[in-house]
Amino acid sequence: MQDVGYPVCTLGEVKNRADLVIFWGCNPMHAHPRHMGRYSVFARGFFRERGRRDRTVVVVDPRKTDTAKLADLHLQVEPNKDYELISAMRAVLRGHELNVDRVAGVPVDIIYEAVEACKKAQFGQLFFGMGVTMSRGKHRIIDNAICLIIDLNAYTKFGLMPMRGHYNVNGFNQVLSWLTGYPYAVDFSRGYPRYNPGETSTIDLLVRGEVDVMMNIASDPGAHFPQRAVEHIAKIPVICVEPHQTPTTELSNIIIPTAFTGVEVGGIAYRMDGVPLELKKVVDPPEGVLTDEEVFKIMSKKIDEML
Amino acid sequence: MVEIVKNVVCPFCGCLCDDIEIMVEDGHIVGTRNACRIGHAKFMHFEGSVRYTEPLIRENKKDDFKKTDYDTAIEESARLLVESKLPLLYGFSSIGCEAQREAILIGEKIGAIVDNTATV
Ligand code: SF4
Q: What is the pLDDT of residues A189-248, one digit of tens each?
A: 999 999 988 899 999 999 999 999 999 999 888 888 899 999 999 999 999 999 999 999
Fold for domain A11-162? Dimethylsulfoxide Reductase; domain 2 (3.40.228)
> Which residues form the domain of B11?
3-44
Task: Say if B73 falls within a structural domain.
Answer: yes
Q: Judge if B35 and B62 occupy the same domain.
A: no
Decide if B68 contacts A193 (C-beta within 8 A). no
How close does chain A come to B27, measured CA to CA in Å?
A: 6
* Average pLDDT value over all residues in chain A: 93
Task: Say if B38 falls within a structural domain.
Answer: yes
Task: Say if B78 falls within a structural domain.
Answer: yes
Domain ranges in chain A are: 11-162, 260-307
Q: Judge if B38 and B13 occupy the same domain.
A: yes
Count Cα atoms within 13 angstroms, Cβ side, for A208.
11
Other beta carbons less than 10 A from residue A303's beta carbon? 19
H-helix or E-strand spanning residue A215: strand A213-217
A166 lines ligand 1 (CB under 6 A): no
List Cβ neighbours of A125 (8 Å cut-off, separation of 6 or more): A9, A14, A18, A20, A21, A22, A40, A158, A159, A160, A161
b/e map A26-53, b = 16+ CB within 10 Å: bbbbebbbbbbbbbbbbbebeebeeeee
H-helix or E-strand spanning residue B66: strand B66-67
pTM: 0.91
User: Whose C-alpha lies nearest to ligand 1, atom 4?
Assistant: B17
pLDDT in tens, A66-116: 999 999 999 999 999 999 999 999 999 999 999 999 999 999 999 999 999
Least confident of A119-133, A204-218, A292-306, B68-82: A119-133
Ligand 1 atom at minimal distance to the Cα of residue A34? 3
Pick from B37, B38, B3: which is nearest to B21 by CA?
B3
Q: How many domains in chain B? A: 2
Burial of A16 (0-12, 13-18, 19+ CB in 10 A): middle
Judge: A211–B57 Cβ closer than 8 Å, yes or no.
no
